[in-house]
Chains A and B, each alone.
Chain A
Amino acid sequence: MNNAKKRILIVDDEGSITRLLKLNLEQTGDYEVATENVSKAALAAAEAFRPDLMLLDVMMPGLDGGALASQLQASPRLKGVPIVFLTAAVTREEVRARRGLVGGQPFLAKPVDLHEVLTCLERHLGAPAAPAASTRPIV
């Protein structure tokens, strides 16, 4: 069986957001999602999970998204893994106006709907290898 599903790590201190994101992404059948709500534990979780892409919230207590990103990028095991920030601190317009990059880093602006997330994932990881397990309209 080919390891077709891409692995996504989501780090956000808001439990409801990680739960729902995971639910929605896994329902497409294309992704395997791990979540972490404690920013300081994210490095270890990432090194264990070995994701293909990491979605990071920016405003988190303790270790904010920017600092966490530095840690992740410094880790040899996570070298080259793309990071996308998911944040309420920037408006959608700003993200769109800057073609998804803010300060050189890819951003998704909250509140983001599923469609936007999937588009972003495809852009970074390529289209899903296998057709979705279940078909349903993507809104």
Chain B
Amino acid sequence: MLLVVGREGSLLLAGPSPAGSSIIPARLNMKTTLLNNQGEQAEHAAEESEQRYRRLLASVTDYVYSVSITQGRPAATTHGPGCEAVTGYTSREFEADPFLWYQMIYSEDKPAVMAQAEGILRGETPPPLEHRIVHKNGRIRWIKNTTVPRKDDQGWLISYDGLISDITDRKQAELALRQSEERLALVIQGSSDGVWDWDLRTNEVYFSARWKAMLGYAEDEVENHFSAWERLLHPADRERALASIKAYLSGQTSAFELEHRLRHKDGSYRWILSRGVALRDAQGKPVRMAGSHVDLTERKQAEEQLERAYAELSQSEAALKAALQKLKTANDELQTTQLQLIQAAKLESVGTLAAGVAHEVKNPLQTILMGLDYLTNNRSGGNGNTTLVLSDMRDAVTRANVIIRELLQLSVATDFKPKEEDLNGLVERSLWLINAESVAAQINVVRKLGADLPPVMLDRSKMEQVLINLFLNALQAMSQGGVLTVTTRHRRFGEDLNLTGPAFTQFKAGDLVVIAELQDTGEGIPEDHLPRIFDPFFTTKPTGVGTGLGLSVVKKIMDLHGGVIDIRNGPLGGVVVTLMLRAAPEQNG
């Protein structure tokens, strides 16, 4: 609505109409012209009119200005009464300052305004111009400036009017909308998700370019309609998908979230997560729904891969644990081997010592022997005793040599050369070797050597070492004298043999075995020592008497022969040592 001041000074009301502006006389009386002394009633009426005027004024959004032209240039400009509402300045202020209107224009927009004015002066009819002004209150207002030229009969411009409309609200709304649209576009563009916007009334759906691209389609390959989505649904998911939508739209569910498969252009199916929100009208009926699409396929594949990798990892972990266990076991074995090696080295060095000692003794023995030979050949006279003496001396040297030889066995590299031997013969020989000792220790040696002993595969010297060692042990156990009983016999394993223990597992029932048994009448072995007697260097003998090597070497030699040695305390006190060997393979026939 605008107020126009007519040439006569009368007020006219003008308002917009489809045909243009219509001007009707405003049947208003301004307060100033009615001031007379017509009494209270007249005054009251005047007040009422003024209020109506003010109300009308407050609703003014437009006004008109007129520019008179003289000789092609603007001569004077008048601004209609509505200008105060729109610009904040009164008509009189505009009248007083011809440049006020120019100053009022927002600086950025000044060029455009001038261009419009110059267009009119040239005789053109420029289009309406939207520009900003600075309201008297300092605020920026948007106005629309529509110019209407007036020409004379010859077509010369005589004046023009401008219709000023305040479009601030509309403009701000426009700007806000544009910003919102831009933001949306940016978001859609920036997000790698597909966006959909479903108009529930028309069933048209906006699918973003990305939405379509996710399924391998170009923008024009998918119709922007709900049915397009339906057609892409995987048949197995169809029922569930439609039910899910229905449930949400009807209010049964409070959120819409749907995992479903859609057909890719290449024929495969992609797993899609769709989420959305509905816009409802005043009655709560949904009118619009929009949301996003996320392609889950890769995620699902990644999940699968992860599960598989995890499974593999678990397997690897198990394998790793097993390997670790093996490593631990190997390490333990290594340590044991190390210990064994150290022991073997010790044995070797002792063996070397024995060799050195033996060697040193041989030279003196040589001298004695040579001496004996000389004396034997150079006896002049002398008595019968001399012969005996020399003979005994010779025997002594021989025996010493034998002992030395046995000692040397400790250092000889293990050449195991078993031959068929008679165990009884070896027993006798070994007993003979320790004869002097047994006599000196006042030991009574009792032999119970079995007849018809089958031959055994024996490394003679090594087995002699075993027997000598055991005999010497027995002698030492009976320091005050005693009886050493040596028994040999043969049996089938299992019959009347009350021998048990893990050591005997190498024989099975029916094997023909040869047994040598040594029994002494000494003090026996303390029970807690028994488990360790075969350990190298474990000895109960006083320091210097024995190295403790004896039994460990004995056991080694028995192992070499595939035989068994068992040491336990005898029922009558003392120790019983049992050697068991498999008889040599029997001849057939």
Contact = CB atoms under 8 A, between A and B. Distances in A.
A16 B374 CA distance: 13
A27 B367 contact: no
B374 A17 contact: no
B370 A88 contact: no
Interface in B362-420: 362-363, 365-374, 376-378, 397, 401, 405, 408
Interface string B493-507: 000000000000000
B352 to A, nearest CB: 12
A101 interface: no
Contacts of A75: none
A25 to B, nearest CB: 10
B359 interface: yes
A112 interface: yes
Contacts of B378: 27
A20 B401 CA distance: 19
Interface string B548-568: 000000000000000000000
A88 to B, nearest CB: 3
Interface string B304-319: 0000000000000000
Residue of B370, B376, B377, B405 contacting most chain A CB atoms (<10 Å): B370
A14 B367 contact: yes
Contacts of B359: 59, 88-89
Interface string A71-91: 000000000000000001101
Nearest to B397: A111
Interface in A86-131: 88-89, 91-93, 110-114
Contacts of A24: 370, 373-374, 377
B376 A17 contact: no
Interface residues of A, number: 23
Contacts, number: 65
A31 to B, nearest CB: 14
A64 B397 CA distance: 26
Contacts of A112: 366, 369
Interface residues of B, number: 23
A20 B405 contact: no
Contact of B408 (A91, A111, A113): A91
Contacts of A14: 363, 366-367
A136 B377 contact: yes
A17 B366 contact: yes
B374 A88 contact: no
Nearest to B412: A91
A21 interface: yes
A89 B366 CA distance: 13
B44 to A, nearest CB: 157
Given A59-B359, A88-B359, A17 B370 contact: yes
Contact of A111 (B366, B376, B377): B366
A111 B408 CA distance: 14
A3 B401 CA distance: 38
A139 B366 CA distance: 16
A59 B358 CA distance: 13
A91 B358 CA distance: 10
Contact of A20 (B370, B397, B461): B370
B405 A91 contact: yes
Nearest to A114: B373
Nearest to A88: B362
A41 interface: no
B405 A111 contact: no
Contacts of A89: 359
Contacts of B366: 14, 17, 88, 110-112
B376 A20 contact: no
A114 B408 contact: no
A23 interface: yes
A111 B374 contact: no
A93 to B, nearest CB: 7
A98 to B, nearest CB: 13
B363 A23 contact: no
Contacts of B374: 20, 23-24, 27
B397 A139 contact: no
Nearest to A134: B377
A27 to B, nearest CB: 6
B421 to A, nearest CB: 15
Contacts of B368: 111
Contacts of A136: 377
Nearest to B363: A14
A17 B366 CA distance: 7
A16 B369 CA distance: 11
Given A27-B378, A139-B376, A114 B370 contact: yes
A20 B368 CA distance: 9
Contacts of B369: 111-113
A137 B247 CA distance: 133
A24 to B, nearest CB: 5
A88 B369 CA distance: 14
A111 B397 CA distance: 9
A139 B378 CA distance: 12
Interface string B234-248: 000000000000000
10 contacts: A20-B370, A20-B371, A20-B374, A24-B373, A88-B358, A88-B359, A92-B405, A111-B362, A111-B366, A139-B373
Q: Which 4 A-B pairs have the closest CB atoms?
A: A88-B362, A20-B370, A111-B366, A114-B373
Given A111-B362, A114-B377, 9 more contacts: A17-B363, A17-B367, A20-B373, A23-B374, A27-B377, A88-B362, A110-B363, A111-B365, A113-B370
